[in-house]
C-alpha cells in the first residue's frame, strides 16, 4: 500500500486511471460542493457522477481529508490576482483581499473550512507569494511582513466567515436577498420590541444581520482602512 503519512504534497503520485485526470476529479468535486455543500462530496458520489468505480479515485487521493485539501488548493488557484497594481502597496494588498472575497462568495463552502486546515499546497504557496509581492515595496523584513499579512488575513477571514455563514444560510434556504432582508428585519423588530435590548435596538438590525453583499464589502473596506492606517502610523514611529 502506498505511503499515506505526512503532508499530501510530499507523497509520490500514484498511477492514474487513463480516463480521468486528478484536475478533472477535483474540479468536479468543487462544483458539487458549490451546488450542495461540502457534506455532499464523497468518493462514492464522485465515482457515480464520473461513471467510474470508487476504487479508481483512490489513485488520486487516499482519504477524504486529502480530497478536501486538493479542493481548497484548487480554489486558492482561482484566488490569484491576474495582475497586481504597481507602485501602491495598499492598492495591491486590497486587490489580493478583494479577490479572496470574490472567489469565497463563489465557493461558499470554503469559508467554513479554511480555519480548520493548514493550506500548504502549490496554489497556497503561489497565493502567499502574491501577498508578499504586494507589500514587497515596503521593505519591512521577514518578521514584520509576516505579522502584517497575518493580521490582515485574520481580519479578512473573520469577516468573510461571519458573512459567508449568512450567505450560506440564505443559499440553503433558497431565499433571494430581498426575501432574506425582509425576514430578518421582521425578526429583529420582534426581538427588540419588548425594550429589554436597548443597546442592540439602538445599534439597529445591522448589529445582527450583515445586510446586502455590497454593504458588507463596504464595511470590510472601511475596517481595512482603519487597520492599514494604524499599521502605517506604527511604521512611521519606528
Give me the CATH number covering residue 63. 1.10.10.60
CA 231 to chain centre: 24
Distance CA 160, CA 193 (A): 30
3-class secondary-structure state, position 215: helix
Shared domain for 124 and 193, answered yes or no, is yes
Shared domain for 45 and 135, answered yes or no, is no
- Over residues 32-55, the mean pLDDT reads 94
Q: Of 23, 43, 76, which residue sits at a domain end?
A: 76
Shared domain for 226 and 171, answered yes or no, is yes
Cell numbers for 183, please give them. Answer: 425576514
Shared domain for 67 and 93, answered yes or no, is no
- Over residues 173-196, the mean pLDDT reads 86
The residue range of the domain holding 117 is 83-237
Whether the model clears a pTM of 0.85, i.e. scores above it, the answer is no
Q: Helix %, strand %, coil % for the chain, to 5?
A: 70, 0, 30
Q: Of 45, 76, 107, which residue sits at a domain end?
A: 76
Instruction: Please tell me the least confidently modeled range out of 29-33, 71-75, 208-212.
Output: 208-212
- Judge whether residue 17 has pLDDT over 60: no
Between 174 and 91, whose confidence is greater?
91
Q: Of 44, 76, 108, which residue sits at a domain end?
A: 76
Domain membership flag for residue 2:
no
Per residue in 56-89, pLDDT (tens digit) is 999 899 888 999 999 999 999 999 999 999 999 9
Domain membership flag for residue 213:
yes
Amino acid at each position: 500500500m502506498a505511503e499515506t503519512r505526512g503532508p499530501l504534497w510530499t507523497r509520490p503520485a500514484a498511477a492514474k486511471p487513463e480516463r480521468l485526470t486528478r484536475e478533472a476529479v477535483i474540479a468536479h468535486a468543487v462544483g458539487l460542493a458549490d451546488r450542495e455543500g461540502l457534506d455532499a462530496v464523497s468518493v462514492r458520489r464522485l465515482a457515480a457522477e464520473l461513471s467510474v468505480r470508487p476504487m479508481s479515485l483512490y489513485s488520486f487521493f487516499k482519504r477524504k481529508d486529502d480530497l478536501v485539501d486538493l479542493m481548497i488548493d484548487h480554489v486558492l488557484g482561482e484566488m490569484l490576482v491576474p495582475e497586481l497594481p504597481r507602485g501602491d502597496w495598499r492598492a495591491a494588498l486590497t486587490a489580493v483581499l478583494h479577490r479572496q472575497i470574490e472567489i469565497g462568495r463563489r465557493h461558499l463552502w470554503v469559508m467554513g473550512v479554511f480555519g480548520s486546515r493548514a493550506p500548504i499546497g502549490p496554489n497556497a504557496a503561489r497565493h502567499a507569494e502574491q501577498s508578499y509581492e504586494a507589500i514587497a515595496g515596503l521593505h519591512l523584513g521577514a518578521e514584520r511582513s509576516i505579522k502584517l499579512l497575518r493580521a490582515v488575513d485574520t481580519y479578512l477571514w473573520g469577516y468573510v466567515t461571519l458573512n459567508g455563514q449568512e450567505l450560506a444560510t440564505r443559499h440553503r434556504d433558497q431565499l433571494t436577498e430581498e426575501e432574506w432582508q425582509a425576514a430578518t428585519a421582521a425578526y429583529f423588530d420582534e426581538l427588540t420590541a419588548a425594550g429589554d435590548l436597548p443597546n442592540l435596538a439602538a445599534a439597529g438590525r445591522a448589529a445582527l444581520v450583515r445586510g446586502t453583499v455590497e454593504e458588507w464589502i463596504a464595511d470590510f473596506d472601511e475596517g481595512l482602512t482603519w487597520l492599514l492606517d494604524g499599521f502605517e502610523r506604527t511604521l512611521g514611529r519606528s
